[in-house]
């Protein structure tokens, strides 16, 4: 394909790139989802499938996505449609890339709102706004009041949540407007070290808590760690545990979205991706297992015991992070500061991920339509700002949950499976292997070749089928959806169909324009 390659932006430093990709991977899930998954799926035994999938799905996908991204960047493509088009000489290839754009855009829309809760809660922590609430139910009611799910005496509507949503939105798009090196890389260089420092401070506070109430010796940090790590080997016979581990690896590394591809596209053709990809994965695991596993669950067990922590965790990761953690903060000295650090940490984890989602779409508009960065950022920003209104106002009706399942869960595994097949089977395993190893500081061990060619796509296919049968079909058939929420769930689906169709149309238009340009120049 004789395409004109225009001058593209570049990363300022290798460290900046690694921090940015690690920031993309490290999200709220590292600190909220992982500990809940580990504790409820066999504790230490969960780590066996977790690390197996890390080796056979996580790391291989990470290298493949860096490889696809850098390869696409050589041809001036920073998003999945263009990347797939150069890997697979087929007219339909580029349309598969719409899945990546769709997933990133939908997640960006609702993640911006979720991310804003963490910023809002860091403010509410330092101002001690929730201090005085005595139990989990009251704290949950406070959270629901903040989110506008319930009318409570704590908040007058969703004004505060809306203000923080706007602040978060402006911050995200301002960083995107500043560009790769001056925006995203600068953010990563500030936010990532800050995130680690805050997390280490909180972990030290957690492990020095001991037994907060000597009258209840079983409520201790030590038992909290036992709750996460004591292995229950009987659970290993349950395929659900293996699927849960595969899912966690998938979510935590932020693969299957097209965001890593976008970042890697700004590399030079001979830049290493082997060590960079491995370093990104290792940094994410450090944040998840060592830091994430040492905060929410141990502190919750220390204050409320295992039974209550289990009940809290069953309500979901957000109940654990936004209801049980504040209950702890109000009971410890300088709790307002620890609460502020905890939620700011989550905010940094969130914003370094959301800018990555936005970057892929901006790269698509810049590279395929020749838009200026300013115009691309304004276009996406305007669309996201409009769409996020629906998430804000229809949150309590399940509007966000529907998006989270189809884009943020099922869409990821579909995209990962598609990209693996295109890269390893259509583009060709040997070519893909050489592409990934090009410029590498080390050679990827050869056994990963067979893992990437056979095991990773097979595992992705199994996970995809399992989720399709066990979750996607019941969700599609609206099982368990309250009658009054049906219209909002359908509204969410129609919205997602419109977004997906829009991307298909934009891809069609972009390539049509390119054909016309090439025709004129020939």
Site residues for another protein per CB under 8 A: 13-15, 18, 43-45, 47, 51, 218, 222-223, 225-231, 270-272, 275, 278-279, 281-283, 285-286, 289-290, 306, 439, 441-442
CB of 182 to another protein, least distance (A): 17
To another protein, the closest distance from the beta carbon of 390 in angstroms equals 40
**Nearer CB in complex with another protein: 52/506:** 52
Q: Looking at beta carbons only, is 44 or 370 nearer to another protein? A: 44
Nearer Cβ to another protein, position 131 or 229? Answer: 229
Q: What are the phi and psi torsion angles at 213 (to 5°)?
A: -120, 100
Q: Which is nearer to another protein, 154 or 227 (CB)?
A: 227
Structure tokens at 218: 């079983």
CB count in 10 Å sphere of residue 12: 14
Query: Cβ closer to another protein: 268 or 515?
Result: 268
Q: How far is the CB of 201 from another protein (least distance, A)?
A: 19
Shortest Å distance, C-beta 220 to another protein = 9
Beta carbon of residue 309, minimum distance to another protein (angstroms, whole number): 12
Of the pair 18, 262, the CB lying nearest another protein is at 18
Rounded to a whole number, what is the distance in angstroms from the first to the last CA of the chain? 13
Give me the helices (H) in 315-334, please: 317-319, 325-329
The angle formed by the CA atoms of residues 417, 103 and 160, to the nearest 5 degrees, is 145
Question: Residue 221: CA atoms inside 13 Å, Cβ hemisphere, count?
Answer: 16
- Nearest one of 350, 352, 382 to 110, comparing CA atoms: 350
Nearer to another protein, 26 or 108 (CB): 26
Q: Of 225 and 466, which has the nearer Cβ to another protein?
A: 225
Looking at beta carbons, which pairs linking 86-93 to residues 24 or more positions away fall under 8 Å? Answer: 86/1, 87/422, 87/423, 87/426, 87/427, 88/422, 88/426, 88/427, 89/1, 93/422
How far apart, in whole angstroms, are the C-alpha atoms of residue 82 and residue 368?
A: 8
Beta carbon nearer to another protein, 59 or 452 = 59
* The token pair that represents 122 in the structure block: 């860091």
**Distance separating alpha carbons of residues 457 and 451, to the nearest angstrom:** 9
- Smallest distance from the beta carbon of 271 to another protein, in angstroms? 7
Residues contacting 438, CB < 8 A, separation 6+: 269, 270
Q: Determine how many CB atoms are found less than 10 A away from the CB of residue 127.
A: 11
CB 24 within 8 A of CB 187: no
Query: CA 509, 255, 491 angle in degrees (round to 5)?
Result: 60
Locate 508 and state its tokens. 């069609």
**H or E element: which one contains 114?**
helix 93-126
- Least Å distance, CB 367 to another protein, is 24
In order, the DSSP letters of 50-81 are HHHHIIIIIHHHHHHHHHHHHHHHHTT--SHH
Nearest distance, CB of residue 510 and another protein, angstroms: 33
DSSP letter at 181 equals: I
What secondary structure does DSSP assign to 216-236, as a single string?
Answer: STTSSHHHHHHHHHS--GGGG
| Rounded least distance, CB 55 to another protein, Å | 10
Least distance (Å) from another protein to the CB of residue 272?
5
Looking up tokens 């680690």 gives: 196
| CB nearer another protein, residue 212 or residue 226 | 226
**Measured from the CB atom, is 271 or 368 closer to another protein?**
271
The nearest distance, CB 312 to another protein, in angstroms, is 17
Least CB distance from residue 304 to another protein, whole Å? 15
Is the CB of residue 313 less than 8 Å from the CB of residue 33? no
Give whichever of 37 and 116 is closer to another protein, judged by the CB atom. Answer: 37
To the nearest whole angstrom, how small is the minimum distance from the Cβ of residue 274 to another protein?
9
Taking the least distance from each CB to another protein, the nearer of 268 and 517 is 268
The rounded distance, in Å, linking the Cα atoms of 358 and 262 is: 10
Q: How many beta carbons lie within 10 A of that of residue 64, not counting itself?
A: 25
């Amino acid at each position: 394909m004789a395409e004109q390659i225009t001058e593209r932006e570049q990363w300022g430093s290798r460290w900046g790139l690694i921090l940015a990709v690690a920031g993309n991977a490290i999200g709220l899930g590292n600190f909220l989802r992982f500990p809940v998954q580990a504790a409820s799926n066999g504790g230490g035994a969960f780590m066996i499938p977790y690390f197996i999938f890390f080796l056979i799905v996580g790391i291989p996908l990470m290298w493949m996505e860096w490889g696809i991204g850098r390869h696409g960047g050589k041809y001036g493509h920073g998003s999945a449609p263009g990347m797939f088009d150069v890997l697979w000489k087929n007219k339909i290839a580029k349309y598969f890339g719409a899945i990546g754009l769709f997933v990133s855009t939908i997640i960006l829309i609702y993640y911006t709102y979720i991310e804003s809760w963490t910023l809002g809660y860091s403010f509410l922590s330092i101002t001690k706004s929730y201090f005085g609430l005595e139990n989990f139910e009251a704290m949950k009611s406070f959270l629901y009041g903040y989110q506008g799910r319930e009318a409570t005496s704590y908040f007058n509507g969703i004004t505060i949540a809306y203000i923080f949503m706007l602040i978060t939105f402006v911050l995200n798009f301002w960083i995107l407007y500043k560009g790769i090196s001056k925006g995203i890389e600068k953010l990563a260089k500030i936010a990532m070290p800050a995130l680690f420092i805050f997390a280490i401070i909180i972990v030290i506070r957690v492990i020095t808590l001991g037994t907060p109430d000597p009258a209840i010796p079983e409520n201790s940090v030590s038992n909290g760690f036992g709750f996460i790590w004591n292995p229950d080997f009987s659970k290993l016979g349950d395929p659900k545990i293996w699927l849960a581990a595969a899912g966690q690896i998938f979510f935590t590394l932020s693969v299957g979205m097209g965001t890593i591809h976008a970042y890697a596209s700004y590399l030079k053709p001979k830049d290493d991706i082997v060590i960079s990809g491995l370093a990104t994965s290792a940094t994410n695991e450090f944040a998840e297992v060592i830091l994430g596993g040492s905060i929410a669950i141990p502190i919750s067990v220390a204050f409320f015991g295992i039974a209550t922590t289990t009940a809290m965790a069953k309500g979901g990761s957000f109940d654990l992070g936004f209801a049980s953690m504040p209950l702890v903060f109000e009971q410890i000295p300088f709790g307002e500061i620890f609460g502020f650090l905890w939620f700011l940490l989550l905010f940094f984890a969130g914003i370094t991920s959301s800018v990555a989602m936005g970057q892929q779409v901006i790269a698509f508009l810049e590279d395929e339509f020749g838009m200026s960065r300013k115009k691309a950022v304004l276009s996406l920003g305007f669309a996201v700002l409009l769409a996020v209104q629906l998430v804000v106002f229809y949150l309590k009706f399940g509007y966000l949950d529907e998006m989270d399942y189809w884009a943020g869960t099922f869409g990821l595994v579909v995209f990962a499976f598609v990209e693996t097949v295109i890269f390893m089977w259509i583009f060709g395993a040997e070519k893909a292997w050489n592409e990934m190893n090009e410029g590498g500081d080390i050679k990827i061990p050869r056994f990963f070749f067979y893992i990437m060619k056979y095991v990773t796509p097979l595992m992705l296919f199994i996970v995809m089928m399992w989720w399709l049968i066990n979750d996607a079909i019941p969700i599609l058939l609206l099982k368990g959806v309250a009658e009054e929420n049906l219209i909002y769930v359908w509204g969410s689906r129609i919205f997602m169909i419109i977004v997906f169709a829009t991307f298909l149309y934009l891809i069609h238009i972009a390539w049509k324009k390119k054909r016309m340009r090439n025709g004129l120049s020939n």
